[in-house]
Amino acid sequence: MRKDRKIRDKDLANAEVALQRAAKKAKMIAEQTHTPLILFENGHVVKKSVVKRKAKQGADSIKN
């Protein structure tokens, strides 16, 4: 989203942040329940497994 463009609709003003927060929560739930994460990439719906890395390596990762 372009930062230089003013958003008139207050509901849309924070939509990007809300979507990022929802994606992070979906990834966390998929990891906890050992279920695949369903994503839309390059015009296709894909199913990916969420793999948690060791704590010292940092963040979680997603792999096919």
Q: How many domains does the chain have?
A: 1
Least-confidence region, from 20-24, 26-30, 57-61: 57-61
Domain membership flag for residue 2: no
Judge whether 22 lies within some domain. Answer: yes
Higher pLDDT, 30 or 53: 30
* Residue 5, domain member (yes or no): no
What mean pLDDT value characterizes the chain? 80
For residue 24, being part of any structural domain is answered with yes
For residue 4, being part of any structural domain is answered with no
Q: DSSP of 10-59, one letter per residue?
A: HHHHTHHHHHHHHHHHHHHHHHHHT-PEEEEETTEEEEEEEEPPPGGG-S
Provide the token pair at 48: 């990916």
Measured distance CA(2)–CA(22) in Å, rounded: 21
- Domain boundaries, position 57: 10-63
Tell me if 1 is assigned to some domain: no
**Residues 38-60: pLDDT tens digits?**
999 999 999 999 887 665 545 55
